[in-house]
């Protein structure tokens, strides 16, 4: 069965954090009037910020400008977000799950982005195509009344 496309858009940005801030704002503004729950919009925005941030921070060894492509497609039952970049090969689907208890105890910032994205997605598919990383995320569209919370089990306090 072919899914009906509700809306889609592609952004091309340089690998700079200032460009990511502008992208995040544009993605949220673009999704504002789409028939999506606030949870789906938040999940998509979080995924864009986390995955592009990782590409910018860790994908390149040089100071040259590289292009990162983000494509968002909203259809009847899901959002598909595709990320493409020419950074170092990196497969977030094979990234080890973080030790949440250790992160909480250490009080360090960071280390949870990929895990959060993994938990909000129904599916993550990575492939290396030539010299490019290609990651596709599937996020359920959700109904407006869907209020299921994202749980992060942190173990029992000592």
Kindly list the structural domains of the chain, giving each domain's residue range(s) and its CATH number in brackets, ordered by start. 5-140 (3.30.565.10)
Residue 42 corresponds to which tokens in the numbers above? 């938040």
Long-range pairs for 6-11: beta carbons < 8 A, 24 or more residues apart? 6/34, 6/35, 6/74, 6/75, 6/76, 7/34, 7/73, 7/74, 8/71, 8/72, 8/73, 8/74, 9/71, 9/72, 10/69, 10/70, 10/71, 10/72, 11/69, 11/70, 11/71
Tens digit of each residue's pLDDT (9 = 90 or more) over 29-84: 999 988 888 889 999 999 999 999 999 999 999 999 999 999 999 988 889 999 99
Tens digit of each residue's pLDDT (9 = 90 or more) over 79-126: 999 999 999 999 999 877 766 666 566 555 556 788 889 989 999 999
What are the angstrom distances between the C-alpha of 132 and each of 119, 122, 155, 158?
Answer: 24, 23, 38, 45
Instruction: Please check the confidence at residue 152 and state whether its pLDDT lies above 90.
Output: no
Look up the pTM and report it.
Answer: 0.82
């Amino acid at each position: 069965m072919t899914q009906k496309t509700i809306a889609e858009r592609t952004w091309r940005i340089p690998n700079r954090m200032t460009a990511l801030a502008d992208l995040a704002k544009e993605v949220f503004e673009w999704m504002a009037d789409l028939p999506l729950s606030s949870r789906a919009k938040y999940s998509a925005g979080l995924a864009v910020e986390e995955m592009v941030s990782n590409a910018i921070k860790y994908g390149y060894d040089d100071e040259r400008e590289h292009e990162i492509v983000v494509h968002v497609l909203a259809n009847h039952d899901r959002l598909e977000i595709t990320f493409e970049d020419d950074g170092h090969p990196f497969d977030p689907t094979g990234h080890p799950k973080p030790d949440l208890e250790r992160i909480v105890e250490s009080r360090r910032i960071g280390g949870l982005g990929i895990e959060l994205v993994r938990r909000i997605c129904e599916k993550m598919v990575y492939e290396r195509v030539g010299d490019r990383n290609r990651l596709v995320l599937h996020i359920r569209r959700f109904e407006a009344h869907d209020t299921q919370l994202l749980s992060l089990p942190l173990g029992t306090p000592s």
